[in-house]
Every structure is written in structure tokens, then in C-alpha cells.
Structure 1
Amino acid sequence: MTKRVAVAAWCPCRYGGRLRKRYPQSQFTDQPIADTRNSVGAIVAISADSREGVDALAAKAVEAGGSETYDPKDLGFMYSRAFRDLDGHHWEVVWMDQAAAQSGPPEH
């Protein structure tokens, strides 16, 4: 029996929406697919425009059934939150102060 994997992609077209289609696993990899209940197959990081944007996106993910991975991290120059989606994939939402990004991390 051929294993099949779902491929989801966000379409930024004018109608928006998610496209989903199933393909044979062998089309993408010959390695086993990660069981995201017990391991991390990938960490997807996305940037927000503000701390409030980080909080809003993470809150929407949790409201939709995701689970928060860790407490919010506030490093002053960078703020992040993380969650797992319904399939167990790990997501990080990050905001970074642009001035800090230009000057580099603070000295420790």
C-alpha cells in the first residue's frame, strides 16, 4: 500500500484560502514521516509586526485547538510565543525590534 501525505499551501491570491491535496509520500521523501505526537519534524517560524501581533496570532491558534508550547519569551529586543497546531507541528511567532536587529544582540 502506498502511503499518502497531505500537502497544504497558503494561497495569497485574491480569493485567499488553503489548498490541500494528497500525494504519494514517495514523491517528496523516502524517509519516514515524523509522528508529531512524539517528535518534531520541523519548526516553522513566522514574523509579526508587533508584540501585540505575536499575542493575537498565538491566541487565535490556541482558540482554534492548538496548544501553547511554552510561556511567552520576552528578551527585550525580541518577543516570541510558540504553539503546536492540530497536527502537532511546532510554530514560533516572533517580533524583533528593528533597531536591535541592526545593532546586534545585547552583550551578556
Structure 2
Amino acid sequence: MGISSDGCPSLEWAHATGTGIQNGTVQSHVLFFTNTGSYLGTATSDAYSYTSVVGASDDSVTVRYRWLSPDDANCCPSNESYVTFTLVGGNTIVPDGQFPPRP
């Protein structure tokens, strides 16, 4: 599980990863919290494989999503997108970017 970096950013995050047999079967969620401990929800309603947090600031978190094309090996997804989640008004997360197709 990954977590927010040191300090006390306004938007905290945790990356919860499940178990699986291959990279393509391991699914995960990114969870968001305020720095006062309030749970804000997950980045997506569905869990996805190949998900990682690639950047964070005081009030935003950037998540990279990757997914397989039909001819891809489980090790090597050829598709990717990025979504930046920004905390607005202290309790609302606004996403900006392209989400992967639903699993």
C-alpha cells in the first residue's frame, strides 16, 4: 500500500492493492482523505489493474491508469491515461483527465 508523502497536505491518499496471480489480475483503489482524517472516497467506483499514483501536491493527486489491449501480454499494457484529482472547498474532489474503460 502506498500513502501520502511526509508533511500534512490538504488532500491525503492511500493506494490499496489487492492480490492476484498476474499483474493483470491485481486490482487496486486510490482512496482520498482530508488532512483532518475525513474519508472522501475512492478515485473510481471500480478497482483497476496497473494503477499508480505518479504525483501529488498539497491539494491534488495524479493517478496513472494502464490497461491491456487484446494482444498485450499481462506484463505490458499498451494503453495509459492520467487523471488529476483536486480537492475543492475542503471536501469535494474534482477529477480532470481520461479514465480507463470500465473493467
- TM-score (structure 2 length as normaliser): 0.31
- Structure exhibiting the larger radius of gyration computed from Cα positions: 1
Q: What TM-score results when the alignment is normalised by the length of structure 1?
A: 0.30
More helix by share: 1
Of Structure 1 and Structure 2, the greater strand share is in: 2
